Structure formats: C-alpha cells, structure tokens
Structure 1
Amino acid sequence: MFFIQMSGFPGSGKSTLSRQIAKRTGAVIIDHDIVKSALLNSIENIPVDVKTGKISYNIDWSLIEFHLSQGQNVIFDSPCLYKEIVDKGISLSKKYSVKYKYIECYLNNFNEINYRLIKRESMTSQLREIRSEEAFKKTLESSKKPTDYEYLVVDTGKTIDSYMDKVINYINE
C-alpha cells in the first residue's frame, strides 16, 4: 500500500498526473480543490477567512485516514506549501504502515502556468490567473519537501507519457 503526497503550483499538472496514477493503480484520490470548493459553495453568504482552508484540510485528512484504514492506496492532490502537510502525510503513512511517496509537479514557466489556469474549467477554490511573476516564483520555491524520504520531481512541461513510467517505478520502489 502507499500514500502519495502530490505537490506543485496550481496548474502544474497535479490533478492530471493524479488521475493517471489512479487509473494505473486503483488508488483513491483526495482532491483538496473539490473539498474546499464544496465547503466554499455551502457557505456562499458567509465571509471567507483563513479558517476555510484549515477546515477543508481537516476534511481532507479525515478522508485520507478513512481510506488508508480501509486498506486503500491514496493520492492527496494538493499543493504542498506547509511543513505540517508533509508531516501529517508521513505520520499517517507510518500509522497505517504504508509507503510514503512525494511527487512534485514542477513547471517553472510563468506563461505556460497562466495559460493552463486561464484555459481550465476552474472550481470555486481554484486560482484562475497569476498576476505577479514574482509571487509565482516565490510560491514555486516555497513547496515543502520531506527531508528523510526520497521524493520525485517531474517536469510537467513535458508530455505525461514521457515521465509516467518513471512515476510508476518510483511508486513501486
């Protein structure tokens, strides 16, 4: 069994890669954007604050833990911008004795990311455009990675077929 923690800037290809991994492995995907968008849509007339993000992550972790407890492989499709997210993923992997895997979708191309964000059908919680290249670079460099585990960084500027076998091999290690 495994738990995969996805990482990467919005629009970098996390969801696309997650879906391909799930197709090949039968893993369950917990998509943070789906959870957060559902939460935001259910509280339309209430001002959104920092608590919304925290609540949606708590829901994500509850779903992840449930599926791991049922013996299912899980992929967490979310940016990984906080150390706590990595720590929680590692902790749950240890608790359920599953392999911890971390895959970062990396695309250091401001224009391509913006093109993808603008082109996609966005959910309520999703970023629709990046206005500042400086903010993009800062966020890109801020992803948190595990320090005691091997991780995989894939160049999502290439076609998914060019790195999919590498991803599956990494998961199976």
Structure 2
Amino acid sequence: MFFLQMSGFPGSGKSTLAREIAKRTKSVIIDHDIVKTGLLEGLELECQEVDPRRAGGVAYHIEWALVDFHLSQGHSVILDSPCLYEVLVEKGTALSDKHHVKYKYVECVLNDIHELNNRLKNRERMMTQIGPVDIPEEKWQEVINRAKRKLHVACTKVDTSQPVDHYINDVLLYLNK
C-alpha cells in the first residue's frame, strides 16, 4: 500500500498520470479540482459567496479526511493536487506514518509553455481550473524556477511532455520501491 501525492503545474499531466496509476494499481484517487468545484457549486446553490482561495483550504480538509478514511480501509490513495505547499507534504507523510504505508511523491514537469497552454485550452475545464497561461516564453523559466522547493522526502520527477505510456513503468517501479 502507498499514499501518493501528485505535484506539478495545472496542465502538466497530473490527472492523466493519476488515472493511469489508479487503473494499474486499483488505487483510490482524491482529486482536488473535483472536491473544490463540488464545494463551490454547492455553496453557490445555497447563495453563499466564498473566496475560491478559501474554498481551496476547506477542500484540502475534506480531502485529508478522505485520504485518512481510504488508507484506514486498506486502499492505496493518490492525492491529485498541485501540492505547492510544504504543509501538504507534512500532512501526507504524517498520514502515511499513521497508517504504516509508503509515502510517495511524483512531480509532473512540463517545461514547454506552448504544450502546457495547448493542454489547458483543450481540456474540459472545471470552474476551479485555470485556462491558458498568458506569460511570455522567456518568463516561463522564471516561473518554473520559483516553483522549485526543497522536500524532506524522496520524490521522482516525470517529464510529461511525452505520452503517459513512455513513463508509466518508471513511475510504477518507483511506487513499488
């Protein structure tokens, strides 16, 4: 059993990879975009105005409860979210320790702004997901460099510019270590 946190920019291939891993390992996926969108849509039905950033924090509380529950039931779990904050890694490692499962972290990397925008433009978008990024190509590398953070856990990075079939076996080997 394992708990896997996905990481990477929107459009980098996290959800595609998470679905492929889940299909091959019978894991449960907790998708941040689905939880956050459902939360916001439900609040809109109740005519309540909520700051989307605040809803993201509430969504993570719901997701952690779901991760905890599914791990307690003996399921491997994949958290599909950008994982941009160290506190998310701390929470993930704590839940992995609590349930005595392997903690894994996969960062999806797509350093091609044109391909990223193509993916963001052509996907079916939920209300909480961003559209194409309006950033000059020369600034893109600055954005990538700013997003790098030091982790206290082992992780693997995946170049998602290729189809998932090109790297899925490497990811599965990493999960089985």
Q: TM-score over 0.5 for the alignment?
A: yes
Q: How many residues align?
A: 172
Aligned-partner Cα distance in 2 for 1:140–1:124 = 27
SS of structure 2 residue aligned to 1:43: helix
Q: Structure 1 length normalisation: TM-score?
A: 0.93
- What is the deviation of 1:141? 3.7
1:73 to 2:91 alignment: no
Deviation of 1:142 after TM superposition, in Å, equals 1.6
- For structure 2, which runs of at least 5 residues remain unmatched after alignment? none
Percent identical among aligned pairs is 51
Q: Following superposition of structure 1 onto structure 2, how do residues 15-26 of structure 1 map, counting pairs within 5 Å? A: 15-26=15-26
1:163 aligned residue = 167
Answering whether residue 16 of structure 2 is matched by residue 12 of structure 1, we say: no
Q: CA separation in 2, counterparts of 1:73 and 1:136?
A: 34
Question: Which residues in structure 2 correspond to 1:8-157 (within 5 Å)?
Answer: 8-44=8-44, 45-49=47-51, 50-133=53-136, 134=139, 137-138=142-143, 141-144=146-149, 146-147=151-152, 149-157=153-161
Provide the C-alpha distance between the structure 2 equivalents of 1:112 and 1:159, rounded to a whole number of angstroms.
Answer: 12
Matched residue of 2:124: which SS? coil
In the aligned structure 1, how far is the partner of 2:106 from the partner of 2:99?
A: 20
Contact in 1 for aligned 2:37/2:126 (Cα 8 Å): yes
- Given the two structures, how large is their TM-score scaled by the length of structure 2? 0.91
Runs of 4+ in 1 over 6 A off after TM superposition: none
- Identify if the C-alpha distance between structure 1 residues 108 and 141 changes in structure 2 by more than 3 Å, giving closer, same or farther: farther
Structure 1's 126 and 157: CA in aligned 2 closer, same or farther, altered over 3 A? same
Q: After the TM superposition, which of the residue ranges 45-54 and 150-159 deviates more from structure 2?
A: 45-54
Distance in 2 between residues matched to 1:30 and 1:143, nearest whole Å: 24
For 1:136 and 1:60, the matched residues in 2 are separated by: 31
Distance in 2 between residues matched to 1:27 and 1:143, nearest whole Å: 27
Deviation at 1:62, TM superposition (A): 0.6
Q: How far does residue 40 in structure 1 lie from its aligned partner after superposition?
A: 1.0
Contact 1:13 1:105 in 2 (8 A): yes
**3-state SS in 2 of match to 1:38:** helix
Encode CA deviations 1:26-45: one digit per residue, 9 max, x unaligned: 00000000000001111224
